Structure 1
Amino acid sequence: MGARTFVVIGGTSGLGLAVARLLVDEHRVAVLGDVPGEVAAVADELGCAGRICDVSSYEQVRDAFAEVVDRYDVIDGVAACASMWAGGDLAELSPQRIRRAVEINALGTTYVFKEALHHLRRQGHGNLVYIGALAVTKPRPGIPIYRATKSYGSSLVQSLAEAQHSNRIKVMELHPGPMPTRLQERVGDEFLDKIYALPEQVAAEVVRLLLLAPDDLYVSGELVLRADGRW
């Protein structure tokens, strides 16, 4: 299908950055992040488009997608990689941190899906890949807010996938286990399994899903890979 256009939400570090790196040599990539210096550095390093976007703001998400469409006319795929860690016993979490986790992991995911699907439906094709978490399928102590907010995204994927009524628009999710990323550094080594996948390995699977053609196999709504290193 030649060069295509992809938006990587949370593409300035970790898995999102690994996804952008795999795509950028052959495709047009727009990286979205909420730290201006990081967005500028990644855009310069990869030679791709960059846009400052706090996903908790619907207006910023809407305007970021509109800018990509204005620039490239089409969006072939979206990788929703933005996420906020909120670990710790519920009693120990501040109301501010709880609110921010909900704003990014739940509201932000909703806004990204809303705008992504708006443009994919307008075009009549495209892929949306949500990066969930293995914690959704395997409860772990000490992460009630993180797991709850990531479970929200997973539920959203399943409902929206069913609502498309077409294989031309695929809504998919991938649940990585703990990986050595910046988010993992914030989590702490106690949550890093003895067996784990590297961001580059998981990114290859994300890219495979993003590159699925409209007439490829129907996988919308499926949990395609339990990417915790146990391949």
Structure 2
Amino acid sequence: MSKDLDGLVALVTGGASGIGSATADLLGERGAKVAILDLNPDGGHSGHLSLRCDVADDASVRAAVADVVRELGGIDIVVNNAGIGAQGTVEDNDDDEWRRVLEVNLLGTVRVSRAALPHLRLSRAAAIVNTCSIAATAGLPARALYGATKGAILSLTLSMAADHLPEGIRVNCVNPGTADTPWVGRLLERAADPVAERAALEARQPHGRLVRPQEVAAAIAYLASPLSGSTTGTSLAVDGGMQGLRLRPGNN
């Protein structure tokens, strides 16, 4: 295992489960000291600094970031992974639900990045990686609210990359396809026919299965690493080809 992150401090929001947990563990294996920020941090790996943080509350974010700096000595890498899902067309979610999801998915990324920037400016290898989604680049049924928040993350990533490159801070995002995470698992449990629903989600992706959290984590680790020092303003699809491929029936 490469130790390209040796000596760096990484902060991962939503790091106690799913993609965030896989990312925290991989960054740690590659040498980083890792802080998990999560509403329920107890589910995180015991080898990391685990802190309770509500990304929808600015005071909570600032306190957690200050704790990371105090305990680990600084911040070099920020992985904005915390997020919540939403289902429905533009008619199906009321204003309160729109505000709730925007507060976490979009403004949570803003709050954590904003609080971490003064510390990232001191780093020799500063990087921010945002977890975006295939929903930002492809129209998916019944994902109007969720897709809107992730589309905003894609645009925010580009703007941040332009703003902070002169300060030596790289900003990129990953665009996972449908991943085999606890949130997707809960959606499947609520489906009328979970087996059929899972098969439909798998078939939607050209490689014929759900994306593994570890595969998204590997993409995040690449973008976070100093070895990708010339990569910024990039969105990296981890979706089994869903964004770009149009296979003929029988080819997959």
User: Same fold by TM-score, threshold 0.5 exceeded?
Assistant: yes
RMSD: 2.0
Give the Cα separation in 1 of the matches to 2:134 and 2:111: 22
Asked whether 1:203 is paired with 2:214, we answer: no
Residue 222 of structure 1 deviates from its aligned partner by: 1.2
Contact 1:124 1:169 in 2 (8 A): no
Give the Cα separation in 2 of the matches to 1:41 and 1:105: 21
Contact 1:129 1:206 in 2 (8 A): yes
Give the Cα separation in 2 of the matches to 1:90 and 1:143: 8
Report SS of the residue matched to 2:51: strand
Give the Cα separation in 2 of the matches to 1:68 and 1:54: 15
The equivalent of 1:212 in structure 2 is 226
Taking structure 2 as the reference length, the TM-score comes to 0.81
Residue 124 of structure 1 deviates from its aligned partner by: 5.5
* Distance verdict in 2 for CA 1:73–1:217, change over 3 Å: closer
The equivalent of 1:229 in structure 2 is 240
- How many residues are treated as equivalent by the alignment? 223
- Correspondences of 1:145-164 after superposition (within 5 Å): 145-164=145-164
Contact 1:179 1:192 in 2 (8 A): no
Structure 1 regions of 5+ residues with no counterpart? none
Residue 162 of structure 1 deviates from its aligned partner by: 0.5
Structure 2 regions of 5+ residues with no counterpart? 189-196, 243-252
Contact 2:16 2:42 in 1 (8 A): no
Write the deviation string for residues 76-122 of structure 1: whole angstroms up to 9, x where unpaired. Answer: 21111111101112323243322210110121111112122232124
Contact 2:211 2:240 in 1 (8 A): yes
- Correspondences of 1:8-157 after superposition (within 5 Å): 8-25=12-29, 26-35=31-40, 39-42=41-44, 45-123=45-123, 125-157=125-157
Report SS of the residue matched to 1:162: helix
Report SS of the residue matched to 2:241: coil
Write the deviation string for residues 20-75 of structure 1: whole angstroms up to 9, x where unpaired. Answer: 1112243211001012xxx1232xx4321111011011111111111111112221
One-letter code aligned to 1:152:
A
* Distance verdict in 2 for CA 1:61–1:133, change over 3 Å: same
Contact 2:121 2:167 in 1 (8 A): no
Contact 1:134 1:228 in 2 (8 A): yes
Q: Percent identical across equivalent pairs?
A: 31
Contact 1:173 1:222 in 2 (8 A): yes
Match for residue 192 of structure 1 among 186, 194, 201: 201
Give the Cα separation in 2 of the matches to 1:83 and 1:41: 16
Give the Cα separation in 2 of the matches to 1:129 and 1:41: 22
Taking structure 1 as the reference length, the TM-score comes to 0.88
Give the Cα separation in 2 of the matches to 1:41 and 1:185: 17
The equivalent of 2:247 in structure 1 is none
Give the Cα separation in 1 of the matches to 2:82 and 2:42: 17
Give the Cα separation in 2 of the matches to 1:221 and 1:81: 17
Moved segments of 4+, more than 4 Å: none
